[in-house]
A and B are shown apart, each in its own frame.
Chain A
Amino acid sequence: MDYTGLFELAWIIPILPIISFLIVGFLGQKIKGRGGIIAVGLVAAAMVLSLTIAYAALTGGLPEQGYFEQSFNWVVLGSDFTIQMGIYIDAVTALMLIVVSFVATLVVIYSLGYMHDEGDRRRRYFTEISLFVGVMLGLVLANNFLELFIFWELVGLCSYLLIGFWFEKPSAASAAKKAFLVTRVGDVMFLIGLVIIFNLFHSTSYSTIFSPEEIAGVDQTWLMWGVFFMFGGAIGKSAQFPLHDWLPDAMEGPTTVSALIHAATMVKAGVYLVARMFPLLVHAENVMLLIAVIGGVTAFMAATMALNSPNIKRVLAYSTISQLGYMFLALGAGGYMFALGLEEGNEELMVAGSLGFAAGMFHLMNHAFFKALLFLSAGSVIHYVHTEEMAKMGGLRKHMKVTSLVMLIGSLSIAGIVPLSGFWSKDLILETVWEGRLDSIIFLGLYVLAVLTAFMTAFYMFRMWFLTFAGEEGEATKHAAAHHDEHHVDSHGSDEHDHKESHGHHEAPWVMLAPLIVLAILAIGSGFALFIGSGFTSVIYFEIPYTHDAGYWLEKFFWGESSFLTYISLAAAVLGIALAYFTFYKKRVDAPAIASKPAVKPLYNMLLKRYGFTKGYDYVGEKIVYGFSLALDWFDRKIIDGLVNGFSKLIQRSGAGLRRAQTGFVQTYAGVVAGGAVAMMLLLFFLLKLLGIEVHP
């Protein structure tokens, strides 16, 4: 069937949330509920259109070349230098459309309840979140890297605004600034890479750049540097080592923002960028290896930081960084194998590489669902107990039955327990990395790191769950329970909160519970996308359509020759959960005692201090940049004066008319002008000597 007419409507997708942004932004103050309903309506409409288009694209509706493109020339810089503006739809776009629009809709619905008490400020919230959804969908639909970069900066701006939503908290304001500036380091690298790519291809359009003839025609060394720098952008956006430290701080924003922007969508933009660049990256196997190593190291390091974090949102933030590391690991490992296969003409290797690509994207989708679920559940908890410290919670299971259940599902899923969604994609990633060991021994090390990460993931997730929901009631739990009982009696019958749910009056309102339940179903079931039709890997793949159907891979990896790997990863998960169970539920292991042992304590504190990265960033920002600036300014104002002091004094004594000017050292400036001329002359001679031009001074 011909879906061209449908695809041509894709430009409307990002426009719908933008309309909501305009309406709520300009008229929100006059609308009841401050525009929340409008935002929900238009974002949901964008979702319906997105899902329709994604369905058509994934079920074979795409044109024969594998993508649909529609664009116009935006800027013409020269006869062959053009920048376009347009939309590009292929299977990866379709997947991203599903993830972004679906999670966004659920989060905006949830926000109706979560932000209920914010009063007039809800207008700002719904304005900014609508803008975010619009530009994020634009980012996904862009048909060239420059357009992507523009949306990339805009989502960064929205993230900045939303992290700083509670700007009266100094920590929120500084976290927002940190996020903006740290990700900018990555953005600068992105821009450098973009300029290199643009000059190589004289275009930024995917369809031009990705054609094999074009790639073969450019300088391969420059191409490598181009993709290397663009990957720098992905590191910043997806919070990978060493630019990861902004994400934990970003938790200062509302939890809904953390769920949408800092777990399910924006931070995935880096992964998406790498997936997008794959046709270029497979010509640079060194960069692919770097991606895998950075992913593996980040996954491990972030997981260690989650082990002892006292803050429920921070645990989830470290976990997000760690899981994003998994995705990069999968893409890097797959890409490395593909690159080698391409060089050697080894089709088997290319197929294995393509599987890594699929595994990374598969995990991206599953993670979006279960991590949004975990964040939103944590949001419900925080909404109820008004604290983020897990030490003050405990025993919440009795008060929040639904939340505790869905959070358990999310935890099982991320821990990788069969048959929940996290299991399938994580296992696929681990198997890909294992495959890679044949080509580079580095992957063996990465595999060990990844398995240890899986173990730690299970442990810290269940540590969080037990601390929050099980055990004795903490002070915040008691306080909240008492408060809510009272509130319920007081406002009986006239309560405008909608407490329809049957689990007593402690639970969140249904607008918050419904999205949680939907996400919980997905956290259980989205992994089965592996089996739909001819399988996930036959839809989302790179370059080589699968000659084997899904059954072949399932056979090989889950039941066949490589099935022992599956048992290893399952064992890691179960061990992690068991350890958490005995430590934090049964209390067989005395965690505080271990933590305070002299051998462990420094390590424990180092983790709490995030390996010192926080300080390191501050040091670079405050001390080095600012200090250097101070020194130059001082030089500008003062030191020159010392140099020409004699000269200055001489003139100072002459001419009382200049007295006014003397205070600002005008003589100094004149001295610098004269000295500058001499210095330039000397520099010129020096440079010319350097260039080998003869000089007779």
Chain B
Amino acid sequence: MVEFTAIVPEIILVLFAMALPALGYATKNSKILAGFGLAGVVLSAVFTFMMANDLSVAYEFGNGLIRVDQFAILFMFIFLAVAGYVILASAVYVKDDKHQPEFFSLIMLATVGMMIVASSTDLFALFLGIELTSLASYVLVGFRKKDVKGAEAATKYFIIGGLSSGFSLFGISLVYGITHTTSFAGINTYLSWSVPLANPELLWLAMIMVVVGFGFKISMVPFHMWAPDVYEGAPTTITAMLAAGSKKMGFVAMFKFFLIGLIAIKADWQLLVGIMAIVTMTWGNIVAIQQTNIKRMLAYSSIAQAGYILMAIPVATEYALAGGLFQILTHAFMKGGAFLIVATLATVAIGETIKDYKGLAKRSPFMAFAMMIFLLSLAGIPPLAGFWSKFVLFSAPIDAAATAGAEWMTWLALAAIINSAISLFYYVRVIKYMYVDEGECKDKLKLPWSMVAAVAICLVAVIGIGLWPDPFIEYLKQAAHSFFVLY
């Protein structure tokens, strides 16, 4: 008999996603539809939680293609949380649009893809998960097809996404050709037995191909160019999902591919990935400085954050991975929260240029305060969540630099710290506009409660993790440990 337990959370989401269009015939009320979708997410989270409670049993599906362990659970929760607040915020955001049921349905299907990636142990399962998420997000980005920017963004996203998928699929087939397996553990076993390879060039080529595909997802420079356009053009709640969810899925893929599959040939790629990390964070931060559109600014800031997280791969210690995971976790809340604020303010006709935020503190003290906290946290100001994740992540390379041959890693940390100082440049400007400058209009804003609630959830998380980081760090260290031990 096939044991389905491992994919019950995914099955629940799929069932709810399928039922949503049917429900759409009964009601056109976006709040009811969102509530139904949210119920699916919560139910799925409950089942995930039940698995999380007892990890002594190995939850596997499809001959081990899918395996739920502590690492997978962590990301399933992150993805479910993102789906939850995106749906919550979208309830009002899309209330005047057509095809609402499909909108929520697609968000849930995208989440299913992400969760499959989180629990996959095999390149093919992982690839399918990525594709599922990608296809759903192409449609979501172009959801408002009458919107010129949105349609353009969707087309671009689709073309570049398709191209990148082609690259990674080609890379995967090369990997299979070399190692005769697609499971991460299998690749690792093959490589550790046959290092040094007689003909490593082919494997390097395969590696680069796969990185192009995954690098697209995490918006690694130079595969980042789609990100600002798409983030700007997409409906803003979907932007939040792309930045907080789909991007993190790319990191899961990167972690599994490099830290499990290719760990045996670590020496070959460490320096390359390290340099890509520095280039990515620097490029993102510097270009962000002179953006005038707040969504583009946040998009470039996301690219920079990707650079920070990428550092965990070349350092390749448990501590570094825990730092990377921590940064992913905090970023999901602080960046997601910032995008949700943009979305919320768009419902009351506040534009997307940074200048439109002038005098916001007077018009909506809560939104201005929340935005300030998110931005300061992104910049790594203590004692907010972003400070702790950066602290752990940045001290990892210095810790690792103590071992022989890894001295260069100090430069990683140095580059990251200097970069986060540069980032304050553009974050402070927004804060200054909100608090110091006078806006043209001074009326108080009336904001939809469900979107305020979604922002509040992120705010509580950012402040809460900032004040009590210990349990989170403890959990993430366990997750990182299980990641390295189980394979």
Contacts and interface: CB of A to CB of B under 8 A. Distances in A.
A679 B152 CA distance: 28
Contacts of A664: 152, 156, 229
A608 B212 CA distance: 56
A195 B417 contact: yes
Contacts of A695: 201
Nearest to B199: A696
B425 A696 contact: no
A658 B382 CA distance: 47
Contacts of A188: 417-418, 420-421
Contact of A625 (B160, B394, B413, B422): B422
A574 B211 CA distance: 74
Interface in A96-154: 149-150, 153-154
Interface stretch (B56-64, B86-94, B469-477): B469-477
Given A676-B223, A681-B204, A684-B204, A75 B388 contact: yes
Determine chain B's interface SS by DSSP, over half rule: helix
A638 to B, nearest CB: 12
Interface stretch (B104-112, B242-250, B268-276): B268-276
B177 interface: no
Determine chain A's interface SS by DSSP, over half rule: helix
Contacts of A691: 267, 271
Nearest to A150: B382
Interface residues of A, number: 66
Nearest to B153: A664
B24 interface: no
B216 interface: yes
B428 interface: yes
Interface in A393-418: none
Contacts of B156: 661, 664, 666, 669
Contacts of B201: 695-697
B267 A192 contact: no
Interface stretch (B43-51, B68-76, B286-294, B327-335): B286-294
Interface in A573-603: none
A167 interface: yes
Given A153-B381, A195-B395, A626-B290, A180 B428 contact: yes
Contacts of A30: none
Given A681-B208, A696-B201, A669 B290 contact: no
A199 B399 contact: yes
Interface in A638-697: 640, 658, 660-661, 663-664, 666, 668-670, 672-677, 679-681, 683-684, 687-688, 690-691, 693, 695-697
Interface string B203-221: 0110011011001100000
A185 interface: yes
Interface in B377-402: 381-383, 388, 391-392, 394-395, 398-399, 402
Interface in B153-194: 155-156, 159-160, 163-164, 167
B117 to A, nearest CB: 21
A664 B151 CA distance: 12
B226 interface: yes
B98 interface: no
Interface in A27-83: 73-78
B475 to A, nearest CB: 12
Given A666-B156, A693-B267, A660 B225 contact: no
Given A181-B425, A661-B152, A679 B222 contact: yes
A681 B205 contact: yes
Contacts of B469: 74-75
B319 interface: yes
B402 A660 contact: no
A636 interface: yes
Contacts of A688: 268
Given A75-B470, A691-B271, A670 B152 contact: no
Contacts of B159: 658, 661, 666, 669-670
A628 interface: yes
Interface string B247-280: 0000000000000000000011101100110000
A184 B424 contact: yes
Given A661-B159, A666-B159, A672 B204 contact: no
A628 B222 contact: no
Contact of B398 (A196, A658, A683, A696): A196
Given A670-B163, A673-B163, A688-B268, A629 B399 contact: no
B283 interface: yes
A191 interface: yes
Interface in B131-157: 148, 151-152, 155-156
A73 B468 CA distance: 11
B414 interface: yes
Nearest to B318: A78
Contacts of B391: 195
B436 interface: yes
B268 A78 contact: no
Contact of B473 (A76, A177, A192, A668): A76
Contacts of B383: 150
A345 B26 CA distance: 89
Contacts of B425: 181, 625
A264 B136 CA distance: 60
A77 B474 CA distance: 7
A633 interface: yes
B442 interface: no
A423 interface: no
A256 to B, nearest CB: 20
Contacts of A173: 432, 436-437
Contact of B272 (A149, A150, A168, A680): A680
A74 B470 contact: yes
A617 to B, nearest CB: 13
A684 B208 contact: yes
A666 to B, nearest CB: 5
Interface in B281-321: 283, 286-291, 319
A630 interface: yes
Contacts of A181: 424-425, 428
A632 interface: yes
Nearest to B162: A670
A357 interface: no
Nearest to B221: A676
A78 B287 contact: no
Interface in B416-460: 417-418, 420-422, 424-425, 428, 432, 435-438
Given A153-B382, A633-B291, A660-B148, 5 more contacts: A625-B289, A666-B159, A669-B225, A673-B222, A676-B212
**Nearest 8 pairs of A and B residues by beta carbon:** A676-B222, A629-B289, A150-B382, A188-B421, A661-B155, A167-B436, A666-B156, A669-B225
12 contacts: A76-B470, A76-B474, A78-B319, A177-B432, A630-B290, A633-B291, A661-B159, A666-B159, A672-B223, A672-B225, A673-B167, A691-B271
Interface of B: 148, 151-152, 155-156, 159-160, 163-164, 167, 201, 204-205, 208-209, 211-212, 215-216, 222-223, 225-226, 228-229, 267-269, 271-272, 275-276, 283, 286-291, 319, 381-383, 388, 391-392, 394-395, 398-399, 402, 413-414, 417-418, 420-422, 424-425, 428, 432, 435-438, 469-470, 473-474, 477
